[in-house]
């Protein structure tokens, strides 16, 4: 992890619409991952049980899409040429992200065992080694960062859609050949993960049609293949929009590519259903299409309409106040977007700590997080409303930290 304070000049070179979109996804990921209680959640804030897609199922793929665009921009200075030093840098960064994911998993287990009164050696070593989840959000990001980065430079950005298509075709063939369309332990994604890592080291919170827990990891090793395709599509979109100077040209390309991807994705849904846990090919195309369309909208608002509003002079106090709100709303998300992985990592640490600080209140045991929900938020907003209020409060606290970093132009790069 490196930390650097940038001057105002380099900061202007950042792609504002991309930072805002990335900030929206990070805020969304924090929101959906940290309800006050998992027993009471509004339907749009839940993942689809299997096939299908909810708003919650969009935040992670949107971030992967943004990662691809950022990857293209980052490697422009190397002319997208694969050299040994560049490859080493890509691999090192990706492994760092994987290790951070493992460290977060270890930290949560360690705190839990210490809180339960276990000895230090068992809490720090034995229990995590026996139960740590090998895969997960951060390990997946690390793997796709390595594989996507190397493939981008080896094939060149303009050829990335073809590489992505080949990867998705290979994944579809594997899915069809093994009849892996249902949520069960015969699914090839589950079979591979269980045989490689063991049941104790993969996610087992998904339930089949009968309500039984299934050893199936939504960030499985095999489903990393289409996720790499996902990031390569992001690279290609970066290639499309960064090589045209006309703003409306960028918007047109984003909208056209987004419409085509959504159309193909929805058609493919008939054969390979949209499925986040499988990271199906149709899911890749539909979510990339939606992300591309949203980026086009943000480009219109931030790169076209915002300068026009700034050029228009306000004559009354009301107009000045309105203009200030209208022109600065995006900064809430930009604060998240300039330090995305650091803030997401910090959210996990904060919640794990709050979940393991226990105390007694009115003859009942609480941890900080459950107290905040049951005693403070639930009485005010009800079950689902209180659960959402807890998540929103965490987003606001983390925004405060992100804002301080943003004001000081501190970018913590992972």
pLDDT of 295 higher than 80: yes
Q: Strand pairing partners for 361?
A: 364
Q: What per-residue confidence (pLDDT) applies to 312?
A: 55
Confidence band, pLDDT 50/70/90 cuts, at residue 1: very low
CA distance 207 to 26: 27
pTM of the prediction? 0.90
C-alpha closest to that of 111 among 127, 134, 99, 129: 127
Report pLDDT digits (tens) over 218-235. Answer: 999 999 999 999 999 999
**Tokens 């709303």, located at residue:** 329
Tokens of 270: 């008939």
Residues 6 or more apart in contact with residue 103 via CB below 8 angstroms: none
> What mean pLDDT, rounded, does the chain reach?
89
Answer yes or no: is pLDDT of 140 > 80.
yes
Q: Is 410 helix (H, G, I), strand (E, B) or coil?
A: strand
Cα distances (Å, whole numbers) of residue 386 to 295, 334, 361, 368, 383: 32, 27, 19, 15, 5
- Tens digit of each residue's pLDDT (9 = 90 or more) over 243-283: 888 888 889 999 999 999 999 999 999 999 999 999 999 99
8 A C-beta contact, residue 266 and residue 282: yes
Measured in residues, the chain has a length of: 414
Q: How far apart are CA 23 and CA 190, in angstroms?
A: 32
- Six-digit token string for 340: 């995305």
Structure-token match 């304070």, residue found: 5
Q: Determine the Cα–Cα distance for residues 264 and 272; give it in Å rounded to an integer.
A: 12
Residue 262 in contact with residue 294, Cβ under 8 Å?
no
Q: Are 240 and 207 in contact (CB under 8 A)?
A: no
Encoded tokens for 31: 């929101």
The tokens for 395 are: 């987003």
Model confidence over 31-75: pLDDT tens digits? 999 999 999 999 999 999 899 999 999 999 999 999 999 999 999
More confident position, 205 or 189? 189
């Amino acid at each position: 992890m490196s930390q650097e304070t940038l001057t105002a000049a380099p900061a202007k070179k950042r792609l504002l619409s991309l930072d805002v979109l990335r900030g929206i996804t990070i805020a969304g990921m924090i929101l959906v991952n940290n309800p006050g209680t998992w027993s009471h959640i509004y339907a749009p804030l839940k993942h689809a049980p299997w096939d299908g897609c909810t708003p919650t199922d969009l935040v992670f793929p949107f971030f992967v899409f943004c990662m691809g665009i950022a990857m293209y921009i980052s490697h422009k200075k190397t002319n997208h040429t694969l050299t040994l030093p560049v490859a080493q840098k890509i691999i090192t960064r990706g492994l760092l992200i994987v290790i951070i994911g493992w460290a977060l998993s270890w930290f949560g287990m360690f705190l839990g065992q210490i809180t339960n009164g276990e000895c230090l050696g068992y809490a720090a070593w034995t229990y995590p080694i026996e139960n740590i989840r090998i895969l997960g959000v951060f390990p997946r990001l690390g793997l796709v960062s390595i594989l996507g980065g190397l493939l981008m430079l080896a094939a060149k950005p303009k050829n990335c859609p073809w590489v992505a298509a080949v990867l998705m075709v290979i994944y579809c063939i594997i899915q069809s050949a093994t009849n892996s369309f249902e949520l069960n332990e015969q699914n090839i994604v589950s079979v591979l993960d269980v045989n490689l890592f063991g049941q104790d080291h993969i996610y087992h919170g998904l339930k089949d049609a009968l309500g039984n827990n299934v050893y199936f990891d939504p960030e499985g090793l095999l489903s990393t293949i289409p996720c790499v395709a996902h990031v390569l599509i992001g690279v290609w979109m970066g290639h499309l929009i960064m090589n045209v100077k006309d703003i409306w040209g960028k918007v047109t390309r984003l909208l056209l590519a987004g419409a085509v991807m959504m159309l193909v994705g929805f058609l493919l849904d008939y054969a390979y259903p949209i499925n986040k846990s499988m990271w199906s090919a149709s899911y890749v195309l539909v979510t990339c299409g939606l992300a591309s369309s949203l980026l086009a909208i943000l480009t219109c608002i931030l790169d076209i309409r915002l300068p026009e509003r700034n050029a228009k002079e306000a004559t009354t106090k009301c107009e000045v106040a309105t203009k200030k709100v209208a022109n600065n709303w995006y900064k809430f998300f930009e604060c998240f977007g300039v330090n995305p992985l650091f803030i997401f990592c910090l959210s996990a640490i904060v919640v794990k700590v709050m979940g393991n600080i226990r105390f007694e209140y009115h003859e009942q045991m609480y941890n900080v997080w459950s107290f905040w929900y049951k005693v403070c938020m639930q009485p005010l907003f009800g079950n689902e409303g209180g659960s959402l209020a807890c998540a929103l409060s965490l987003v606001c606290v983390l925004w405060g930290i992100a804002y301080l970093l943003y004001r000081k132009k501190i970018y913590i790069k992972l």
